[in-house]
Structure 1
Amino acid sequence: MKYRIQIFIFCCFLGLKTLSAQEQPNFIVIFTDDQGYEDLSCFGSNKLKTPNIDKMANEGMKLTSFYVASSVCSPSRAALLTGRMPKRVGVPGVLFPKKNEKGLSTEEITIAELLKEKNYATALVGKWHLGHDKKYLPLNQGFDSYFGIPYSNNMSIASGIDISPNIVFNDGYTLEKMHSDISRVEVESKKGPKNALKNKPPLMRGNQIVEYPTNQTTLTERYTNEAVSFIQKNKEKPFFLYLAHSFPHVPIFVGDKFKGSSGTTPYYDAVQEIDWSVGEVFKALKENGLDKNTIVIFTSDNGPNSHGSAKPLKGRKFDTYEGGQRVPAVFWAPNKIKQGVVSDEIVSSLDIFPTIAKYAGISMPKGRVFDGYDISKFLKGKSKKSPRKEMYFYGSNSTKIDGVRVGDWKYVINGYRKTSWRKLTKEDTKIKLFNLKENKSEAENVIDSNAKKAKQLLKQMTRYDANLEKDISKK
């Protein structure tokens, strides 16, 4: 107590303002799963209506050149929470519910751990997907509470997760039948990442499974109720809520109230239910007097699956073309983020970590390389330019660098990933150069007429990757 008084007196002497617990800003990051660039009405879709996110965009900042660090989920989430490239933190690809699967190292510092320096309450509601073994789970990564499924909703139960004595079983399941599933997954996972028990993830609270198989139809509603409850319980102290929705990842489940609501497909029904969820979060903020002191960020973990749209961009999930990693993003905070702005400046999910640190008044951790930038001045309107001028692209489930964007120019080695449903043509494998200002859809390869620019970008990309490798080798 004496130490705090001395700091307060010293700050007053210097004319510095100290923040009380009530003045510390709250942070909410809403992260959807496999939602495409176009898949909000405020981003141009005519297949659905998202009035709550549209209102958020009108009152905040809509970013049209916002990138996540990967075109698949686990690495994208690792980068968001650490401010470091997936390759740097050892999560370059998708994690699966198999025995001895790794996860995000506890040596990494997450946003939740960072905010503990200022005694923030922290919660993860929704999808984790950064390791299902106990040492990797959210409660060991800075979160006070966790409610959700530990990986994608099309995956199965994994061995080694504690089971609640009060577990709820669905679909006629028993404890014996659940253990039979676990044994089967252990055997089949040795054959590869996929198994025959898809679409049966467990629901967890804390470190324990509390429901199996998860009733996914009510998942978005339950996530929302959990998020609202957390806001209500922590209205007297600063908090960080990471609300990571499981949809519109496939298989798509929608609550009864939203089935057919878009008049198009279940994919858009699911996004409309998420929009409802956003509205409930904002309602809770207003009812608890927190809407003037909370920063809310809405975005997606990567490009769309086969049901969504990245138009007018090229590519989708798995790709390093724009549609794989450029996603819809809205930043909202009265008095902290300039209102009614649409910006095409380059911003990344990597920038969220250092920006939250700045708003919270916390120094960046020493002794490690961060790939994000503090964009608080840009968000406040004190600078029209984002400090980020470049974005690097790595192949999905790969440590191999595929491309780089610097300003309006983008150099790509492998834009498409070869899959069971896509056979690459000779044209697909050509190295490409695009001017995104003139050709947002990456339709015209201008490398032949801009050989010097291509050489510059290749050199910059190669240098960055070499430095990243050097940093990794020091560990």
Structure 2
Amino acid sequence: MKTILFTLWCVATVCFSGDVPNVLLIVADDLGYSDLSCYGNDRVQTPNIDKLAEQGMRMTQFYAAGPVCTPTRASIVTGKYPLRYNIESIFRDRGEYLPAGHSLPQLMKDAGYTTALVGKWHLGGLRLKDRERRDEVDGPHEHGYEHYLCQIEEHPLRTEYFKRGDLYSRGGTCLLENEQPMDENHRYFSMFFTDIMGEETIRLINIFNEQDKPFFIHANFQVPHLPLERAPEPHWSATAEDGLSEEQHRIRSMLARLDYQIGRIFDVVEDNTLIIFTSDNGGHKFSNNGPWRGIKSDLYEGGIRVPFIVWWPGHMEAGSISDERGHSNDILPTLCAAAGIVLPADENFDGQNLLPLLEGDFLDRSAQPEFWYFDKNQGRKKKKPGTLTGAIRLGDWKLLTAYGEPKELYNLTDDPQEKINRMTDMPEKTAELAELLANWLAEPRNTYKTAR
């Protein structure tokens, strides 16, 4: 009987061995495709993030699940398209929250990992009054994070920080640590927000490295999301340049500070650690989205194609570059596979395990479509006609639609900048992709919830 029970436990979770990796998932916020020097930025040097790519793998066709943060963050945590939860845009700190379930941190926790979340969550349940209603409202703990240090998601609190332009310099004044607001005596109260994220991640790694079980840390840096602020010295002076605008100087200093903190984190991780570095969506108007058309909130490549770097010594060719496609839905099944976790059989995940690709095998996704739906008119009294809301990519082809009506068709191999609309000369391809997208949009959905 003991043998049978042990076998069942292994199938449902994982049988640990000495080579199960620690996992560090780092997600930047509004980071443009070419904001990093390893992705072609010759104006800002990011040597520490570049080192991850030099010793690991970077992907050139990795997609965020949405052109803004909440959809992609939901995708990372659930391994599913955000539309499965009816998430069409951002949560606005008005009680919306993602219901807990087979979330990535819960799967890791159930498999014996110590789990922690640091930084921006933006999936709800972090209003101050939500803390007394955990039987009704799910937050980070309910999703499986044993420890969290996150922003309070209270309206209009975060909005006021954005308007004043001091979200980073006053970052320690609007944080919750395991349900407790920080006061002026807290170690992080007066620190620059990027530095808080680095310090807390390092603190947790040092603690967890002393344990006899692996850890999963999900570190969500806010850089380079607006407001643009001057980073602390020496990075403000180090990024000065004659003729540089104030906005560009600020974002460059913020990126340099982010890279500095990534370097400090990198110094304390052990070799048996799997690190993923990516972004929640494309960059805003001050970011560098490289050759791609569009910015954050667009369904063009500039809004959804993001950097993606994996570091795991001994499991991939150092300095390798993959031009295969990947998607934020893939993060959950990939990390679970690396940890030896068997996904629940009663759950349908949209993502695909990328480990074979990372280890050098060919992963053919030419027949597998990727879908997007984002409504930037959500919450507005009047919808702007012609707003692009849906997208599908299948092989080389990408179709964009406006509330179900096909509008633009591009061949991304021949026309990666999405300049030549091929709808007129490719009616059959347009119809094929439009039907696939319509069928996907018609599939049954769960829904996010809203607490009073």
Q: Do both proteins adopt the same fold according to a TM-score greater than 0.5, normalized to the shorter chain? A: yes
Which runs of no fewer than 5 residues in structure 1 stay unpaired? 12-16, 159-184, 189-193, 416-428
CA distance in 2, matches of 1:362, 1:343: 25
Deviation (angstroms), 1:65: 0.7
Deviation (angstroms), 1:347: 0.2
Instruction: Choose which of 140, 143, 165 in structure 2 pairs with 1:141.
Output: 143
SS at match of 1:141: coil
2:180 is aligned with 1:208 = yes
2:252 is aligned with 1:268 = yes
Deviation (angstroms), 1:272: 1.4
CA distance in 2, matches of 1:136, 1:52: 35
Deviation (angstroms), 1:110: 1.6
- Equivalent residue pairs, number: 408
Instruction: Choose which of 119, 123, 127 in structure 2 pairs with 1:130.
Output: 123
- In structure 2, the residue matched to 1:116 is 109
2:288 is aligned with 1:294 = no
SS at match of 1:136: coil
Q: Where in structure 2 are the equivalents of 1:31-110 lying within 5 Å?
A: 31-98=27-94, 101-106=95-100, 108-110=101-103
Q: 1:386 to 1:406 in 2, by over 3 A?
A: closer
CA distance in 2, matches of 1:309, 1:431: 26
SS at match of 1:36: coil
- In structure 2, the residue matched to 1:244 is 220
2:305 is aligned with 1:329 = no
> What root-mean-square deviation, in Å, do the aligned CA atoms of Structure 1 and Structure 2 show?
3.1
Is the 1:37–1:43 Cα contact (8 Å) retained in structure 2? yes
SS at match of 2:306: coil
Is the 2:397–2:412 Cα contact (8 Å) retained in structure 1? yes
Deviation (angstroms), 1:64: 0.9
SS at match of 1:63: strand
2:361 is aligned with 1:373 = no
Q: 1:136 to 1:6 in 2, by over 3 A?
A: closer
**Identity over aligned pairs, percent:** 31
SS at match of 1:440: coil
Which of the pair has the greater relative contact order for Cα pairs under 8 Å at 6+ separation?
A: 2
Give CA-to-partner distance per residue, 1:34-65, whole Å, 9 cap, x none: 11111000111122001111111111111111
Q: Where in structure 2 are the equivalents of 1:157-306 lying within 5 Å?
A: 157=157, 199=167, 202-211=174-183, 218-235=192-209, 236=211, 237-253=213-229, 254-263=231-240, 264-285=248-269, 290-291=270-271, 293-306=272-285
Deviation (angstroms), 1:96: 2.2
Give CA-to-partner distance per residue, 1:167-200, whole Å, 9 cap, x none: xxxxxxxxxxxxxxxxxx9xx9xxxxx9999957
2:16 is aligned with 1:19 = yes
Q: 1:211 to 1:251 in 2, by over 3 A?
A: farther
> TM (normalized to structure 2)?
0.82
> TM (normalized to structure 1)?
0.78
- In structure 2, the residue matched to 1:463 is 439
Give CA-to-partner distance per residue, 1:380-433, whole Å, 9 cap, x none: 113254588322121245799511011111001249xxxxxxxxxxxxx98111
CA distance in 2, matches of 1:314, 1:216: 39
CA distance in 1, matches of 2:45, 2:3: 50
Is the 1:32–1:301 Cα contact (8 Å) retained in structure 2? yes
Which runs of no fewer than 5 residues in structure 2 stay unpaired? 132-136, 241-247, 379-387
CA distance in 2, matches of 1:221, 1:64: 29
Q: 1:256 to 1:195 in 2, by over 3 A?
A: closer
Give CA-to-partner distance per residue, 1:329-387, whole Å, 9 cap, x none: 11111122332221121101110101111111111123332111111111111325458
Q: Where in structure 2 are the equivalents of 1:302-381 lying within 5 Å?
A: 302-381=281-360
CA distance in 1, matches of 2:357, 2:152: 34
Is the 1:156–1:198 Cα contact (8 Å) retained in structure 2? no
- In structure 1, the residue matched to 2:398 is 410
